[in-house]
Amino acid sequence: MPKLAGKTALVTGGARGIGRALALKLAAEGAHLVINDLDAAPLAETGAEIETRGGTVATLAGSVTEDGFAESFVDLALQRFGGIDIIVNNAGYTWLGTAAQTSDTQLEAMLRVHVMAPFRLLRAAHAPIRQMHERERAEGREVFRKVVNISSMAGTGGVAGQFAYSTAKAGLIGVTRTLCREWGRLKVNVNCVAYGLIETRLNMLRETGGNVVRIEGHEIELGLSRRFKENTEAMIPLGRIGTAEEAADGAYLFCIPESNYVSGQVVTVSGGLSI
């Protein structure tokens, strides 16, 4: 029996990288997937891959920061699959710069995608989760639901040159810890995964060029310098950068019944790296 049979999992930013790997993993364990991404084409491709492997999926393209996105995403899950069991706030990107270099626009963009959007999605999910919980309680059943917020070691420790991103990812830890206290009585486990260095589009080498993406009207250069990447990799106790699948496995631990008594935690998935 798959571990997540009959559960419905919502994953933002599920078209590529860690979100894609996690969506595939959750689907392989029997969950119905509701996935979103800014980019419609890779989102459709991930959706098709889930179906090819025998899973069920609904997709919603668009930015998590759009007004009304949270309500539409929650409605899609309820209408297609009749419930919400797992919410993974994964959509995000880096917009680098020291504090001195950071504009108001840049900080606002990072806060909107990493704090405001997860908050709005969780707020929109609150009423249906409460209703489902009350029904289950009346039936004498204890059903756990899962929130996994995807943060970063930039958020736990701060990284020079990543001011807006680090600040926003630290904010998401605040969301996690507070919601753990507010939603515990609804039997919702709220946890956070802080990644170290994972090999995705975010960490491509800047020197290879061509990694400028257009997000919400801004031209943003993703990637890391060779020097930063190599120096960081040299400090990883397990000796190398993690894969998207390994990163997804770390988040998966908070989606399964074995973590039902774990809440309010920030777990670093970094090959042992700490800052």
Residues at the site binding ligand NAD, with contacts judged by CB under 6 A: 12-13, 15-19, 36-39, 63-65, 90-93, 113, 150, 152, 195, 197-198, 200-203, 215
Closer residue to ligand NAD in complex, CB, 187/200: 200
**CA distance linking residue 235 with residue 228, whole number of Å:** 11
195 flagged as catalytic: no
CA 272 vs CA 196, 197, 259: distances in Å: 9, 11, 21
Residue sitting closest to ligand NAD (CB): 17
Least CB distance to ligand NAD at residue 141 (A): 33
Closer residue to ligand NAD in complex, CB, 135/218: 218
Look-up: residue for tokens 């069991």?
85
**Catalytic site residue from 93, 165, 195, 252:** 165
Chain centre distance of CA 267: 13
Q: Are 99 and 163 in contact (CB under 8 A)?
A: yes
Number of C-beta neighbours around residue 89 at 10 A: 28
- Pairing label, strands 32-37, 86-89: unpaired
Closer residue to ligand NAD in complex, CB, 133/155: 155
Q: Give catalytic residues, as residue numbers.
A: 165
